[in-house]
């Protein structure tokens, strides 16, 4: 479980609430800082959705990867509009949770989109997740799993 999200409730694109501890246990966590109104976010989000689908939704067994969207939107409505387009397995910090801003500060987020990859302990594997997904595709996930030291029993 990612310590930085301990005690937090996350929301799915369908509106269901989940406890972070249960949803993120023994997974590599990708914190995705993005905004619906940001052109680079709109460009990268479909690529990240495909990356996630290939590793988690279509793989048997699914890869131990969880994407947590940290919205940089200006309104809850903007966030909700984008959430409807996200994979059902993705999670998000609620718009009204001020912790979104603390995470932006903690991970030095000055522009979006940004993909920060974390070990289950919350330690950063890389701040360059977006670049790695673009350049290496699913191959980058293997290095993340090795760095995270999570159980792996899936093809990459």
Q: Is the pLDDT of residue 124 over 90?
A: yes
- Predicted local confidence at residue 1, as pLDDT: 53
Which are the contacts of 1, defined by CB distance < 8 A and separation ≥ 6? 20, 21, 24, 25, 120
Kindly tell me the sign of the dihedral angle through the C-alpha atoms of 38, 86, 76, 33.
negative
Question: How many other β-carbons are positioned within 10 Å of the β-carbon of residue 132?
Answer: 19
Q: Is the pLDDT of residue 154 over 50?
A: no
Question: How many other β-carbons are positioned within 10 Å of the β-carbon of residue 28?
Answer: 26
Q: Is the pLDDT of residue 121 over 90?
A: no
- Predicted local confidence at residue 40, as pLDDT: 96
Q: Is the pLDDT of residue 6 over 60?
A: yes
Q: Are 30 and 146 in contact (CB under 8 A)?
A: no
**Of 96, 75, 131, residue with least CA distance to 11:** 96
What order do you get walking across the sheet with 114-118 strand by strand? Answer: 17-19, 9-11, 91-92, 65-71, 28-34, 114-118, 124-126
- Predicted local confidence at residue 82, as pLDDT: 87
Express each pLDDT in 77-109 by its tens digit. 999 888 888 998 999 999 999 999 999 999 999
* DSSP letter assigned to residue 53: I
- Predicted local confidence at residue 149, as pLDDT: 79
Q: Mean pLDDT throughout 35-51?
A: 94
Report the predicted TM-score, pTM, of the whole model to 2 decimal places.
Answer: 0.92
Cα 146 to its chain centre, rounded Å, is 18
Greater pLDDT, 152 or 91: 91
Q: What percent of the chain has pLDDT over 70?
A: 95
Beta strands in the chain (DSSP E): 9-11, 17-19, 28-34, 65-71, 91-92, 114-118, 124-126
Q: Is the pLDDT of residue 58 over 70?
A: yes
Q: Is the pLDDT of residue 111 over 70?
A: yes
Provide the pLDDT confidence category of residue 152 given band limits of 50, 70 and 90.
Answer: low
């Amino acid at each position: 479980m990612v310590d930085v999200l301990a005690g937090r409730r996350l929301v799915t694109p369908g509106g269901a609430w989940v406890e972070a501890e249960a949803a993120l246990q023994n997974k590599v966590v990708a914190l995705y800082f993005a905004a619906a109104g940001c052109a680079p976010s709109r460009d990268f989000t479909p690529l990240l959705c495909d990356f996630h689908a290939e590793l988690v939704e279509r793989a048997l067994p699914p890869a131990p990867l969880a994407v947590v969207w940290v919205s940089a939107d200006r309104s809850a409505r903007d966030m909700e509009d984008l959430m409807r387009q996200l994979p059902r397995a993705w999670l998000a910090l609620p718009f009204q949770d001020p912790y979104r801003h603390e995470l932006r500060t903690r991970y030095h987020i000055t522009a979006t989109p940004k993909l920060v990859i974390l070990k289950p302990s919350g330690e950063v594997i890389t701040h360059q997740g977006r670049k790695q997904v673009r350049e290496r595709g699913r191959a980058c996930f293997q290095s993340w799993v090795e760095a995270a030291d999570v159980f792996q029993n899936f093809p990459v």
